[in-house]
Structure 1
């Protein structure tokens, strides 16, 4: 015996009814539509374990083909610091008047590398992972955030080498070292925000990834990585607005705060006025602004 199912016959759209109104009448929604901002934050938090695991897997695989493996996580910034020491410290003489120049330089290189690598990885976060973006449904902000987290994990490995360098050059451990924790939290927030901005731009215009190394190299040279901004400003007659820009430069702010935290010969008078306000302001501006900017294009990633 067959059973006849009672199904209502399909109804035609009412006169003047738009497709959106028809979909609403039947409870249909757009696939991949951008959720509200609070809902997006909840979805992202629900995938926090994926973000951490993805960042850790990327970090582990980064040097998997090299014989020295994870040793390169420390060796790469150390070799960069050695090259910068020879060129800037020895040949150009930027170490004159800078106490503990090698700890000063290595700290600057490590902290700058954190920002540089986060932004470069963020620029390719969407365009370099289109297969993942198109295959799975998840908040796309998870990608640039996980890349920034990967670089933070790499920096923590490098910090172990930095501590050895500090102790080797007679820099004693101090309570001020604890300030490194809030500095890294603020810098990570800033880096993740800028990474999300660049991820959206890079998703639309992949050629930006080719331009970014030149932009970041210029930014590095004006951020006091290899030279002291404070010493240079004391000897120069730069216009006032240039001085303000150099001191308010977010990369320089986080580098100087880390030097102040770790190096006892780097004193408070070498920091710009209201330096913590700068650090918090840049973190909030980039972190919150970058997150909202990225979220607004959520439904367009991986399409086209």
Structure 2
């Protein structure tokens, strides 16, 4: 690849023209990911379900975080499925360049196609899991309702946000591979601060929480996405579970991360695979 960085708009157009490559790459990776396991792609569903079971035992029962949370099982399972999508998108995105150096050095294509492909892969996995999530909601007395349609725009905003952040991590990890080893600890901390296993609304009603901490928790993009999905899918979650201006916050985070991440990644386009 030439040393000159391509211009941003033509670069975006080239990436769009390679959308079939992005889709094919994501599908191939998805098929190969579980090819050596007996249960195959069932692990797409089993992994978040097993995580939810562990979190229910540790947090719901032993730490009693289910106290005061109506329909805790749908609350928890929705949170785990949605958080797993964000976490896996960032983890795979961080290795998109550093883990595909042979492909990067051998072929000429927009390098952003790799982290975008991995984000699409995780979206495909989540969509395959939503049927199981819907079945769990039905078994827990959550019948289908019109608000379920709100899950589509909520998921779209979350996908743009996670993809933009994965582009940032892909560039950083391309130069500092050790970042991929540190990332799980950062994500675990973020998960605990996002209300995956406990009610953020209950904490924010606590007067002992400092005002600055309250603002940070309400603006936390992961917590906002969780709240929107729970509001859409769980009857009785109500607007009390949503932070103020939740949709505006989600849209703002999606725009900032999506556009900012794309530009940040593009700025180092000519350096990927070198050195």
Shorter-chain TM-score bucket reads: over 0.9
Give the gaps of 5 or more residues in structure 2. none
Provide the secondary structure at the position in 2 that maps to 1:170. coil
Residue number in structure 2 paired with 1:10: none
Counterpart CA distance in 1 for 2:179 and 2:240 is: 38
Q: Does 1:198 align with 2:169?
A: yes
Residue number in structure 2 paired with 1:265: 236
TM-score, normalised to structure 1's length?
0.89
Provide the secondary structure at the position in 2 that maps to 1:66. coil
The RMSD of aligned alpha carbons is: 0.9
4+ runs of 1 displaced by more than 6 Å?
A: none
CA distance 1:236–1:86, change in 2 (3 Å): farther
Residue number in structure 1 paired with 2:190: 219
From 100, 110, 122, the counterpart of 1:151: 122
Give the gaps of 5 or more residues in structure 1. 1-29
Asked if the contact 2:2–2:270 (Cα under 8 Å) also holds between the matched residues in 1, the reply is no
Counterpart CA distance in 2 for 1:260 and 1:276 is: 11
Q: Does 1:136 align with 2:107?
A: yes
Mapping 1:1-304, distance limit 5 Å: 31-304=2-275
The CA deviation at 1:33 is 2.4
Count residues with an aligned counterpart.
275
For 1:217-249, what per-residue CA distance to the aligned partner results, in whole angstroms no more than 9, with x for missing partners?
A: 000000000000001222351110100111110
TM-score, normalised to structure 2's length?
0.99
Provide the secondary structure at the position in 2 that maps to 1:235. coil
Instruction: Mark the structure with the bigger radius of gyration.
Output: 1
